[in-house]
């Protein structure tokens, strides 16, 4: 099994409902969902263009998928998630928008979001003790995409290249789009489909533990955790595997 810490919300959250429908799968139940119709694209082609994010489930990556380190257990990981959720306070982001991210389509923040970035960094650091080192094969697979020297160091040390100052939050909505006309159709349709959830402040009160039961299997929601703590992400620092408030907070 692989596990991942993802930006997600409860099954009845309006953004989650839209994201699951767009991708065509409910990661809470595993059930397929009817995708919206895209003018100028067949249902089959739309399904093909969303196949990769559909397998991972609608989410934003906080701690990328990892195998458990030897000696660690799922029970301990769940307990760590519960402890984390009980220490960190809910926060707000100003707005999300449907944007092109390279050749991908994704929901991304329309401006800098310090608490979201700090929250992601806390997740990367706090759950690192559960991550098994990447195999040589996994390292080589990641490097094929082309990494900067800094990203390569992050990959070797933390298992994922796009963290800390390289982090850019996104909720993926497509595979790599190689045909510009298809990209334009998906972009316009996604902006209309997600309109009621974009361009407005969003409270962030949850994160999810997702699991890949076996290699290549669809990721499933293991549990959603509610943030109930008193320390905002920007004001938290990690010391000896526990959280404290920054002295200047």
Report the pLDDT value the prediction gives residue 235, as an integer from 0 to 100.
Answer: 93
Burial of 145 by CB count in 10 Å (0-12 exposed, 13-18 middle, 19+ buried)?
exposed
Report the pLDDT value the prediction gives residue 242, as an integer from 0 to 100.
Answer: 57
The parts of the chain modelled with pLDDT lower than 70 are 238-249
**Which of 97, 161, 132 lies closest to 3 in space, CA to CA?**
132
DSSP bridge pairs for 99: 106
Report the pLDDT value the prediction gives residue 144, as an integer from 0 to 100.
Answer: 85
Query: Domains of the chain by range and CATH?
Result: 2-118+131-245 (3.90.1140.10)
Q: How many whole angstroms separate alpha carbon 6 and alpha carbon 209?
A: 6
Q: How many whole angstroms separate alpha carbon 179 and alpha carbon 237?
A: 44
Handedness of CA 197, 200, 202, 208 (dihedral sign): positive
Residue with tokens 């409270």: 203
**Could you read off the pLDDT of 24-45 as tens digits, one per residue?**
999 999 999 999 999 999 999 9
For the record, the structure tokens of 129 come out as 């003790």
DSSP bridge pairs for 88: 231
Report the pLDDT value the prediction gives residue 142, as an integer from 0 to 100.
Answer: 87
C-beta neighbour count of 38 within 10 angstroms: 18
59: Cα within 13 Å, side-chain hemisphere: 31
Report the pLDDT value the prediction gives residue 249, as an integer from 0 to 100.
Answer: 42
Residue with tokens 């962030």: 204
Q: Report helix angle 14-23 to 180-193, nearest 10.
A: 150
Report the pLDDT value the prediction gives residue 180, as an integer from 0 to 100.
Answer: 97
DSSP bridge pairs for 243: 238
Contact of 55 with 162, CB cutoff 8 Å: no
Report the pLDDT value the prediction gives residue 210, as an integer from 0 to 100.
Answer: 98
Phi–psi pair at 46, nearest 5 degrees: -60, -40
C-beta neighbour count of 92 within 10 angstroms: 13
Report the pLDDT value the prediction gives residue 145, as an integer from 0 to 100.
Answer: 78
Report the pLDDT value the prediction gives residue 248, as an integer from 0 to 100.
Answer: 45
For the record, the structure tokens of 103 come out as 């050749």
Q: In a 3-state reduction of DSSP, which class is residue 15?
A: helix
Report the pLDDT value the prediction gives residue 135, as an integer from 0 to 100.
Answer: 93
């Amino acid at each position: 099994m692989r596990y991942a810490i993802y930006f997600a919300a409860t099954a009845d959250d309006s953004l989650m409902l839209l994201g699951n429908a767009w991708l065509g799968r409910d990661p809470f139940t595993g059930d397929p969902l009817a995708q919206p119709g895209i003018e100028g694209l067949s249902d089959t082609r739309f399904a093909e263009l969303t196949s990769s994010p559909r397998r991972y489930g609608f989410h934003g990556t906080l701690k990328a998928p990892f195998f458990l380190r030897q000696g660690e257990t799922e029970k301990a990981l769940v307990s760590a998630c519960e402890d984390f959720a009980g220490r960190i306070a809910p926060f707000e982001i100003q707005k999300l928008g449907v944007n092109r991210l390279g050749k991908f389509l994704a929901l991304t923040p329309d401006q800098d979001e310090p608490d979201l970035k700090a929250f992601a960094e806390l997740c990367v650091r706090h759950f690192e003790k559960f991550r098994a080192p990447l195999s040589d094969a996994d390292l080589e697979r990641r490097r094929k995409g082309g990494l900067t020297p800094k990203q390569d160091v992050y990959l070797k040390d933390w298992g994922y290249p796009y963290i800390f100052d390289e982090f850019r939050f996104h909720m993926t909505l497509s595979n790599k789009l190689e045909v510009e006309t298809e990209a334009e159709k998906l972009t316009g349709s996604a902006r209309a489909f997600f309109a009621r959830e974009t361009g407005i402040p969003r409270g962030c009160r949850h994160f999810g533990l997702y699991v890949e039961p076996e290699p290549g299997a669809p990721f499933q929601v293991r549990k959603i955790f509610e943030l109930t703590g008193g320390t905002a992400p920007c004001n938290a620092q990690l010391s000896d595997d526990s959280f404290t408030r920054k002295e200047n907070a």
